[in-house]
Amino acid sequence: MRTAFVQTLLKLAEEDRRVQLIVGDLGFGVVETFAKRFPDQFLNAGVAEQNMTGIAAGMALTGKIVFTYSIANFPILRCLEQVRNDVCYHNANVKIVAVGGGLAYGALGASHHATEDLAIMRALPNMTVVAPGDPAEAEAATRAVASVAGPCYLRIGRAGEPRVHCYPVKFELGKAITLREGRDLTLISTGGLLQTIAQVADLLAIAGFDARVLSMHTVQPLDAEAVKHAARETRAVFTFEEHSIIGGLGGAVAEVLAEADLPTLVFKRFALPAAFSRVVGSQEHIRSTHGLTPDSLSQAIQVFMEKNRAKVAVRAV
């Protein structure tokens, strides 16, 4: 996803001189090409994310489209006051890019685990929150956030994420993408778990469950209609995210379902515990310890469906 983002940003900068990139003294192996090709559209703010964000807000208020770029939590948590008061309060055209969402920097410990970011960002006024699921979505999301006015948060993977979509995606901020149709249950994913959830759907099909898969790349604003439509048609909804179970995609979907006039359904969230991880290691290793693998998730869903057989026995028409 990181490569897709940078390549798309290069194209955007060539097409529009208003596009600016500000980094916090990192990522040179990735952004060096941008800096060399567009020196007048590039700035290294140093290890000073508060300054980076303040500069970005000021530039945006002069008519620029400004991308700030750093890893994991650094472009948001270290400078949250500036994000809130300088960017969001002024509805400034700043696009905050966090590379390594979730557990991508797993070996570096809790300081680099971006596991509360979706909850924090979606609570900020004027902020659009986007977590693409694969490189195809990352490319489309980069173009989308550049074209929309106002603050955006773009959470991307670190590197090496596989392409899940076989065809060009029809991408619209605030609109979920249906990866596959299904009538027994709905799997809603955000961010880098998309391939995992597609594999879960395959395993469930072997077990006799026809699973719908939605890529909810935009967490704020959430596609509430897609959630309610899926709930009416499948009567069982599951959410998946590499994020704390508090306040992310699962919380957003729960809010929609709680206030919707829907027939009886079952709902469950799969996410990380609301705690600092005591486990370090590769992203795959930490996912495994928290049950976020295709086999673990498939088994957990089958057990949950069996326990709630009576509630899902009669589908809505």
Cβ atoms within 10 Å of 3's Cβ, excluding its own: 16
pLDDT (0 to 100) of residue 316: 45
Cα–Cα nearest to 74, from 56, 94, 52, 44? 52
Give the pairing of strands 236-244 and 266-272.
parallel
pLDDT (0 to 100) of residue 166: 85
Q: CA 176 to CA 256: how far, in whole Å? A: 14
Q: 15: burial class by Cβ within 10 Å (0-12, 13-18, 19+)?
A: exposed
pLDDT (0 to 100) of residue 140: 97
Instruction: Report helix, strand or coil for 169.
Output: coil
pLDDT (0 to 100) of residue 39: 96
pTM above 0.85, yes or no: yes
Residues counted in the chain: 317
Bridge partners of residue 128, in order along the sequence: 152
Cβ atoms within 10 Å of 151's Cβ, excluding its own: 28
pLDDT (0 to 100) of residue 159: 72
Q: What is the mean pLDDT of each run of 10 residues along the chain (317 residues)?
A: 94 97 88 95 96 98 97 95 98 97 93 96 98 96 97 92 89 97 97 97 97 98 97 95 98 96 90 93 94 98 92 60
Q: CA 105 to CA 165: how far, in whole Å? A: 25
CB hemisphere CA count around 148 (13 angstroms): 21
pLDDT (0 to 100) of residue 317: 41
pLDDT (0 to 100) of residue 27: 77
Q: Which domains does the chain have, with CATH numbers?
A: 2-156 (3.40.50.970), 177-312 (3.40.50.920)
